[in-house]
Structure 1
Amino acid sequence: MNDYATEEQQVEAIKSWWQENGKAVVLGAVIGLGGLWGWRYYQSEVHAAKHVASDSYTQVVSALDENSKDAVAEAKTFIDANKGSQYAVLTALQLAKVQVENQDLNGAVEQLQWVLNNTKDEAILPLATTRLARIYAEQQKFDEALAELKKVTVPSWKSKVAELRGDILLQKGDITGAREAYVEAQQDGSSPALQMKLDDLAQ
């Protein structure tokens, strides 16, 4: 503005600039404020949705724990309605547990396979995989059970997986393989139950 000699020239320059750029400034302000409001609204809606899902999850899990009449159907409905959320994954895990207790092994297999296909959580994957292996073994599908165990590569699960492999091989009738698996499990962490299994095989 110092380039202009008089205040009148300054005023004329401002008017001229506003005529050329005023609409863009107003539009930019509207878009900016609208975007800010939209983002806050979006965040609010996301928070509300999470709160609703959390409450629904608590109710569904409580029903499963009580093994109420409609618990399984309600759990399946919740999973379908919340696909992509961790709540659905956790519900499917719980549902599979209840189905095993109710002797619905095929239903439990379906839920655990869904979990494995819908999460990348490194805490859940080995849990779901070993549970699936146990069910396959219960169904006398020993090769499928052992194949599932090979997918668990988390170091902290090494001993548990080896012991479970021993249990499955023992069910299969492979006593030598079972003993070797138990010894491997013992190298990574012993337990009274594991020692008893080894002692039984030594007799």
Structure 2
Amino acid sequence: MELYDSEEQQVEAIKDWWKENGKAVVLGVVVGLGGLFGWRYYQDSVVQAQEAASEQYSKAVESIVAKGADSSADVQAFIDTSKDSEYAVLAAMQLAKAQVEAGNFEDALTQLQWAQSTTKDAAITPLVTYRIARLMIESGDNAGARAELDKITDAAWAGRVAELRGDIAIREGDRDAAYTAYTEAQQAQDASQALQLKLDDLAK
């Protein structure tokens, strides 16, 4: 490191350094501040967009509660304009539920399949897939339902998946397969209280 004999030499050295590097320093500060304010602006924009989507989702849900499946057009409009948001996925799931209650299985299946292919939430995926499988069973597509259940690998869903496999077996008249599936489901952490009744019915 260069040593300076006097304060004057230090001042002159600083002046010389500033002449050589001053523009770069100023540019770095400007770029840094620009990036900081740009990032804050981006964050604010994201928050505002999320708040707007949340409000629109709430209105969509209110419409479903008030009008059931008759709210399809309004809710679909929200879904179409919010496709990149998980709120759109949740709205599709809520609409599908209303459509099932109205007996519109085909429309409900379309909503759930869209939600399944769109969501990025690992917690939502098995729920949507499970609902698709149940809907397929109601529509008589047992093979399709099994294929959907195969997609659910989360251990937290093991009991419900096994129980639904048992329900499929019952519909097909395969009591042995149903018993095996229900027994497997009973060992899982998410076992339902209805399993014992189903096993008791098979034992009769």
What is the alpha-carbon distance in structure 1 between the residues aligned to residue 180 and residue 64 of structure 2?
Answer: 38
Q: What does 1:86-105 align with in structure 2 at a 5 Å threshold?
A: 86-105=86-105
What is the alpha-carbon distance in structure 2 between the residues aligned to residue 48 and residue 67 of structure 1?
Answer: 29
What is the alpha-carbon distance in structure 1 between the residues aligned to residue 32 and residue 200 of structure 2?
Answer: 73
Partner in structure 1 of residue 199 of structure 2: 198
Q: Give the 3-state SS of the residue equivalent to 1:173 in structure 2.
A: coil
Q: Give the 3-state SS of the residue equivalent to 1:58 in structure 2.
A: helix
Q: What does 1:15-164 align with in structure 2 at a 5 Å threshold?
A: 15-67=15-67, 71-164=71-164
Q: What does 1:169-184 align with in structure 2 at a 5 Å threshold?
A: 169-184=169-184
What is the alpha-carbon distance in structure 2 between the residues aligned to residue 55 and residue 111 of structure 1?
Answer: 21
Tell me if structure 2 keeps the 8 A contact 1:159–1:186: yes
Which sections of structure 2, spanning at least 5 residues, go unmatched?
none
Q: TM-score, normalised by structure 1?
A: 0.86
Amino acid in the other structure paired with 1:129: T
Amino acid in the other structure paired with 2:165: R
Tell me if structure 2 keeps the 8 A contact 1:67–1:98: no
Count matched residues.
Answer: 202
Instruction: Flag the 1:21–1:130 CA change in 2: closer, same or farther, 3 A.
Output: same
Give the drift of 1:173: 2.7
Instruction: Flag the 1:6–1:192 CA change in 2: closer, same or farther, 3 A.
Output: closer
Tell me if structure 1 keeps the 8 A contact 2:69–2:98: no
Which sections of structure 1, spanning at least 5 residues, go unmatched?
none
What is the alpha-carbon distance in structure 1 between the residues aligned to residue 18 and residue 193 of structure 2?
Answer: 84
Give the drift of 1:90: 1.4
Give the drift of 1:160: 1.3
Give the drift of 1:68: 5.2
Q: Considering only aligned residues, what root-mean-square deviation do their CA atoms show, in Å?
A: 2.4
Q: Give the 3-state SS of the residue equivalent to 1:83 in structure 2.
A: coil
Give the drift of 1:192: 4.5
What is the alpha-carbon distance in structure 2 between the residues aligned to residue 14 and residue 2 of structure 1?
Answer: 13
* Bigger mean CA deviation after superposition, 67-76 or 89-98: 67-76
What is the alpha-carbon distance in structure 2 between the residues aligned to residue 41 and residue 185 of structure 1?
Answer: 51
Q: Give the 3-state SS of the residue equivalent to 1:67 in structure 2.
A: helix
Q: Give the 3-state SS of the residue equivalent to 2:194 in structure 1.
A: helix
What is the alpha-carbon distance in structure 1 between the residues aligned to residue 163 and residue 69 of structure 2?
Answer: 36
- Identity of paired residues, percent? 53
Give the drift of 1:14: 4.1
